[in-house]
Chain A
Amino acid sequence: MRSVWLIARRELVATLRSPLGFIVTALVLAIVGLLFNLRALGGGEKYSADVLAQFFYDLSGFVIVASILVSMRLIAEERQNGTIVLLLTSPVRDHQIVLGKFLGALGFMALLILITIYMPLLVMVHGKISWGHVFAGYLGNLLLASGALAVGTFGSSLARSQIVAVFVSAFLVAAMVMMWLMGRVADAPLDDIFANLALHNIHFSPFRAGKVHLRDIAYYLSVTGFFLFAATRMLEARRWR
């Protein structure tokens, strides 16, 4: 476990120190801030709970995009720079590498998400919202980030360059997000299967309304677990491909 934390810490510090880290953070904050003013607060008076729900919804879109951008470099960068050999020959196991890198990226995403807390606080000053609702919204975004990052880590493990990684990850995430559309056009029982596999629609909506469902937590943890496992298998595939 110590190796996992070492890799995670190194990854987090590297992301925070890189221009990518603070430029992505500033950009996401500016755009989310703009949407907060235009969509959440704009368009006439709204109930504070609706403003908060809209804010979490808008934030979730940027969480997905930022997760793909942050995860693209996790393994593909090592491959691109030729440092993957050093990493793979070091006394750490494949799953420790994947988990460490994922946790580092998740730590950065958690910071990025939590730094937006001043927006719900502004709503709280003028309206009536509970800390529970704020917690639920942030938990949902964190779980969504975790799922998208895991898919991105898998995409990064497939590709040899960061550019290819970002395209592969974006395709996979977009496909998973679009599942709800397929759920709408497909007939039973496929509609339910597609709808329940969708990364965002069914499973994220309750969080933005302040509701925490066990089934949604189980879903996001499953997506995270499966794609991290798949990424590990992809690293291990060098032994049998």
Chain B
Amino acid sequence: MAVDTPKKVPFGVLRGLHVLVGYLLGIVLIFVGERLIGGQSSTRWILGGTGAVAMLVACMLFLIAWKRSDGERSRIEGLAALLSLGGLLALVLYLLGSDLVMGPAPVTRAKDAGVGLRQVLLVAWPILMVLSVLPLIFVQVSTASMGLGRGVEGSRVRASALSGAMTASLLCTLFLINAIAARKDVHRDLSYFKTTTPSDVTREMITGLDADTQAILFFPEYNDVLQEVCPYFDELKGLSERFTVSEVDRALEPDIAKEYRAARDGSVMLVRGKSRQKIDVGTSLDRAKRKLRKLDSEVQKALLKLTRKRQTVYTIIGHGERGADRVGGDDRSKLSELRKILRLNNLMVKNLGPVEGLASEVPADAAMLLWTDPSRPLFPGEASSLRAYLNKGGRMLITLDPESPAAPVGLLEFLGLSYSTDKLAHDHKYIPLSRSPADRYNLVTNAFSSHAATSVISRYSRHLPVLFPRSGSLDKAGKTNKKATFIVKSLDMTWPDKNADMTRSEGEKGGVFNLAAAVSMKIKMPEKPEDKKEEVKKENKDEKKDRPLSKKRSGAAKTAEGDQPEMRVVVFADTDVFADDYLGLLQVGPQGYPPNRILLTDVLKWLLEERQIGGVSTSEEDVKIAHTRAEDVTWFYVTVFAVPLFILGVGAGTRWGRGRKRRTGR
């Protein structure tokens, strides 16, 4: 390698580095003044001016060094001077593009801004600066490493300059690529999305249609959302001849759109006679995703509104009951979801308390009474009015709670039941919600009887464990002419926490406890005059015409078979089982079936004698992960111990095997 020993050293190697430091300091001062301070403050001008002078002086010194040196060093100093001038030129370009020369930048949105001189200068100056300064640093470091007073190896310095230039070029290219990628960003959302499929309930509703029903899909011909909606309705249309599906492009068939008042694309219209129900989905897939995930429940809701006659459910109030809204000081979980399910089934929900005349009689149009978590006893006269209603074949759903002080003892005695407010707990089979000993009260059970009030849930009991948080227990009491069946029971080894210390003490014997009871009684009706019978028959016929999915009549209800009225009451030893916080908490299977909801719809079906009760639909919405304490322990040991120990074992085994092979030479 040729080494040039100069006769003249313009300013020693260390001085060359000093000049570089001054040059870089100038850049930093300009940067601080322009980017961090900015505006019209004097500090900006002082820092900017000082920085520019420092750069200029450094450039002059590099030029002087170039002029004073000769041979190989002259070429090196010339390269350094050229690079420093490049940095100075970058500064000039910055000044030309700044507000000092071009004035304030117009306010435009980034995507609307075109490519003008300002934009070109904005990109050009930093590129030139990096391309000049980085190789300059490399050159100076390389020269310095050759030692003071020694000659310079031109090839080494040029290699370092090339290295610096390549690094700078790569840096600039990557910045540009990233800027373009950020501006023209393309993205894909791969998170969970799936359109629902029709649920069994919706399918049965379509199969049971007794009048022509039409689904009109108002979408443009080529639309992503239509591609998602079509398979859902294609599955339904083969189920009944009475159900037809048609696609309408509003632009091509404006008359149909006008006839059905479809003002927008992206909607589904369900039409039955003169009744219509509209479901808005939207035409943009991104926005429609939320609706498509629960399309089944929307269709079910619309179908129920089209096909079912409105009935009335009375909610008993005035005794500290738990309701759909939380009143001041009441920290019990609300029951708004329960009310929503009743409304979804076209049931009108009305209040019935002392003001509404509960003490005198239950209104004749009551399809069912709902009494949830009463905390005060009934007023005089109310108990007898309820008894009279039930004796006529009334329907009632009662939910009790161990934390409420007053259970309706009299009414329960009338039904042949007793209620224990000792909270039930289990040591192993519970849902950990608060990660505290209180979780033992969150019972799960899949012990259902084969009663009609648990017809669906008992069929799939293995897969549908119901959550009973903080439940009391029911038992039979005295002799009665009513038939009481315990439809839900706790799992074995459940124990009553009599002293409420959340741990099992002596005397708290484990066993199976009754969590819900279905009570029924056939009502003997007095003989009616012939003309009255005819009238009732006619009324029944008319009603059946109006209500294809309903087989019951209001007031004194009659069973489907034999036309003999029957009193039906279901009592739950827990109200939280249907409370908002717990009703949809457990979800099982890939479809996310909520067992507590299924139990509720089963019970409502039996009480109202409906073929179908809506409220359980397929949903592709994300589900909350709930698992039992036992599952928690399994997951913990598998993830924290089993797999890491397996890896360690395999690693250690392999090493030992190789070591043995080496030792034995085999």
Contacts and interface: CB of A to CB of B under 8 A. Distances in A.
Answer whether A and B are interacting partners: yes
Interface of A: 17, 19, 21-23, 25-27, 29-30, 33-34, 36-37, 41-49, 51, 115, 118-119, 122-123, 126-130, 132-133, 135-136, 187, 189-190, 196, 206, 209-215, 217-219, 222, 225-226, 229-230, 233, 236-237, 239-241
Secondary structure call for the B interface? helix
Contacts of A218: 177-178, 181-182
Contacts of A126: 623, 625-627
A212 B167 CA distance: 29
Given A118-B643, A123-B625, A128 B590 contact: yes
B644 interface: yes
Contacts, number: 180
Contact of A190 (B35, B622, B654): B35
Interface residues on B, range: 35 or more
Given A26-B645, A213-B185, 18 more contacts: A19-B655, A22-B647, A33-B638, A33-B643, A34-B639, A36-B639, A44-B435, A47-B622, A47-B625, A51-B625, A126-B625, A128-B623, A136-B190, A196-B182, A225-B174, A236-B163, A237-B160, A240-B157
Most buried by A among B167, B585, B644, B652: B644
B100 interface: no
Contact of B35 (A129, A189, A225, A239): A189
Central interface residue in B145, B159, B185, B187, by most chain A CB within 10 Å: B187
10 contacts: A22-B647, A22-B652, A26-B647, A42-B435, A45-B625, A48-B625, A118-B638, A128-B622, A132-B190, A196-B178
Contact of A21 (B163, B639, B651): B651
Contact of A119 (B177, B622, B626, B639): B639
B624 A45 contact: yes
Nearest to B432: A44
Given A128-B592, A130-B190, A230 B623 contact: no
Contact of A130 (B174, B178, B184, B192): B192
A208 to B, nearest CB: 10
Contacts of B174: 222, 225-226
B297 to A, nearest CB: 16
B650 interface: yes
A239 B159 contact: yes
B113 interface: no
Nearest to B646: A26
A43 B624 CA distance: 12
A236 B163 CA distance: 9
Contacts of A210: 189-192
B636 interface: yes
Contacts of B433: 44-45
Contact of B639 (A122, A225, A229, A237): A122
Interface in B157-202: 157, 159-160, 163, 166-167, 170-171, 174, 177-178, 181-182, 184-193
B635 interface: yes
Contacts of B622: 47-49, 127-128
A171 B645 CA distance: 32
B190 A22 contact: no
Contacts of B585: 45
B625 A37 contact: no
The DSSP consensus for interface residues of chain A is helix
B648 interface: yes
Interface string B116-143: 0000000000000000000000000110
A57 to B, nearest CB: 15
A211 B643 contact: no
Nearest to B619: A128
B2 to A, nearest CB: 15
B643 A226 contact: no
Interface in B69-127: none
Most buried by B among A34, A129, A241: A241
A187 B145 CA distance: 39
B264 interface: no
A133 B644 contact: no
A115 B647 contact: yes
Nearest to B627: A126
B261 interface: no
Given A45-B625, A128-B623, A135-B190, A30 B170 contact: no
A151 to B, nearest CB: 14
A44 B585 CA distance: 11
Nearest to A42: B435
Contacts of B184: 214
Nearest to B626: A45
Give the interface centre of A47, A126, A209 by most chain B CB atoms within 10 Å. Answer: A126
Contacts of B654: 17
A226 B585 CA distance: 49
A37 B635 CA distance: 8
Contact of A233 (B36, B166, B435): B166
Give the top 8 A-B pairs by smallest Cβ distance, nearest first: A22-B651, A132-B190, A210-B191, A33-B639, A218-B181, A45-B624, A30-B644, A240-B160
B640 A33 contact: yes
B641 interface: yes
Nearest to B158: A240
